[in-house]
Amino acid sequence: MKNILTLLLLVFSTIVSGQEETSSKANTFDVNYTYGVIWNHNPNILHLITGHPEGVLLSWNRKTFGKKEWEQRFNYPDIGVSFNYHNLKNKNLGDTYSLYTHYNFYFLKRNLMLRTGIGVSLASNPYDHETNNRNVAFGSRLLNSTYLMLNYKKESLFNTPFGIQAGFGITHYSNGNYKSPNTSVNVISANIGLSYNLNYQKIHTYLHTELDSKSFKESFAYNVALSGGINQGDVIGIKQFPFYVVAAYADKRIGRFSGFQLGAEIFLSKFLKEEIKYNAVAYPNRNIDPDTDYKRVGVFVGHELWVNKMTFITQVGYYVYYPYSFEKRIYGRLGFKRYFGKRYFGMINLKVHGAAAEAIEFGIGIRLKSNKK
């Protein structure tokens, strides 16, 4: 902990000493110390929980003041990037180094801040068959990571550019079954930190323009999306294989921020084809036919949260065609889209079965509106 606190002071003093009083940008910097526990979401990781993870979270934030309509409707959020160092307090897990993009959303007269971050992480000591076979959480050095943080925040103490914040958060590390093993790690933490307003001397005004108060109406839209990636089965040592997902669904926006989805999709997961053959030979008592169809068909409902040109997706699905029992018939999906124009979008999703991730999906799609409202 002593080394972490020293790092906090060094970084913070560097930022403050480099501040330019004439800056015209609306930026803030904050540094937080975190201390927490690893959530025992799976009994297979119990041997990896041997201490209280500590970390340092460094963040740069750009304030918004309502120049765009969505900024006013979301109460002037911040957009930023953050770096997180975590000492997971277990020699087999090692440390993680993560880089995120994030949004800060404000409530209760801007005293309560909710941050959502998504990014990538490097694990210092991933699974290795010979040297680190106890690390069943991280099968690869490169991970995906997300975090949520809810903080009380006071941006200015005693009329100075210094502020203070404290609260709780959760950080998730996983490789989306890109490479086995992939039991994943979730760290629940308390945090406390300092912030510094890089442009404290400059006066900024939050714009309050007359927003369109008419009820938002939009016709049904029909979507076709293609996604894919590379993943691996639960059996350690089986090769990685590509997978493909073809989805068709309808969506209806019920407001400026929310929309609902209903659709169907087919999964072509080549790793599952290989796993069926392996299990048929390795476990003859299970009576598995090696020619069992590996394809799956699912139906799903979902919600889409619109924030400017980006949307956040949550979906729940059920396999209606499920010839081989892999994980559970109910699956979920978390992700985000980025729209390019009014029709086309790119997306990154994490598909899960409960706490077990199956794949990280990268995709493209098209959204076409009908004429009926």
Dist. CA 349–CA 307, nearest whole Å: 17
> Considering the domain boundaries, does residue 354 fall inside one?
yes
Q: Which domain holds residue 104?
A: 26-197
Contacts of 271 (CB under 8 A, 6+ apart): 231, 232, 233, 238, 240, 241, 243
pLDDT bracket for residue 235 (50, 70, 90): confident
Which pLDDT score is estimated for 372? 61
To the nearest 10°, the Cα dihedral for 137, 143, 147, 153?
Answer: 120
3-state secondary structure (DSSP) of residue 286? helix
**pLDDT tens digits for range 160-211:** 999 999 999 999 999 988 888 888 999 999 999 999 998 877 777 888 887 6
* Judgement on whether residues 45 and 142 belong to the same structural domain of the protein: yes
Is 185 in the same domain as 277?
no
Q: What is the DSSP string of 357-369?
A: EEEEEEEEEEEEE
* Residue 205: inside a domain: no
Show which of 158, 181, 197 is a domain's final residue.
197
Q: Is residue 207 part of a domain?
A: no
Residue 20 pLDDT level (bands cut at 50, 70, 90): very low
The reply to whether 1 falls in a domain is no
**Residues 253, 163 share a domain:** no
The answer to whether 28 and 16 have CB atoms below 8 angstroms apart is: no
Is residue 308 one of the residues assigned to a domain? yes
Which token pair is 357? 């991730």
* Core vs surface per residue 352-372: b (16+ CB within 10 A) or e: beeebbbbbbebebebeeeee
Alpha-carbon span 70 to 89, nearest angstrom: 42
Residue 21 included in any domain = no
Residue 178 shares a structural domain with residue 238? no
Residue 15 has φ and ψ, to the nearest 5°, of -65, -45
* Geometric angle at alpha carbon 297, from 305 and 362, rounded to 5°: 50
Which of 141, 144, 88, 89 has its CA nearest to residue 362? 144
> Which of 129, 164, 197 is where one domain is finished?
197
β 185-197/27-38 pair status? antiparallel
Say if residue 150 is in the same domain as residue 256: no
d(CA 158, CA 142): 43
- Look at residue 273 and tell me whether its pLDDT is greater than 50: yes
* Mean of pLDDT values over 32-45: 94
Q: Are residues 114 and 81 in the same domain?
A: yes
The answer to whether residue 212 sits within a structural domain is no
Residue 302 lies in a domain: yes
Both 167 and 42 in one domain: the answer is yes
Residue 272 host element (H or E): helix 270-282
* Whether residue 193 is found in the same domain as residue 291: no
31/180 same-domain check:
yes
Domain match, 365 and 244 both: yes
Q: Any idea what the CATH number is for the domain that residue 176 is in?
A: 2.40.160.20
**How many structural domains is the chain composed of?**
2
Q: CA 140 to CA 373: how far, in whole Å?
A: 48
Give the separation between CA 230 and CA 243, rounded to whole angstroms: 6
> Within this chain, do residues 235 and 123 fall inside the same structural domain, yes or no?
no
Q: Among 1-15, 20-34, 77-91, 242-256, whose mean pLDDT is lowest? A: 1-15
pLDDT in tens, 87-102: 999 999 999 999 999 9
> In this structure, are 52 and 98 located in the same domain?
yes
CA-based nearest residue to 63, from 15, 113, 98, 2: 113
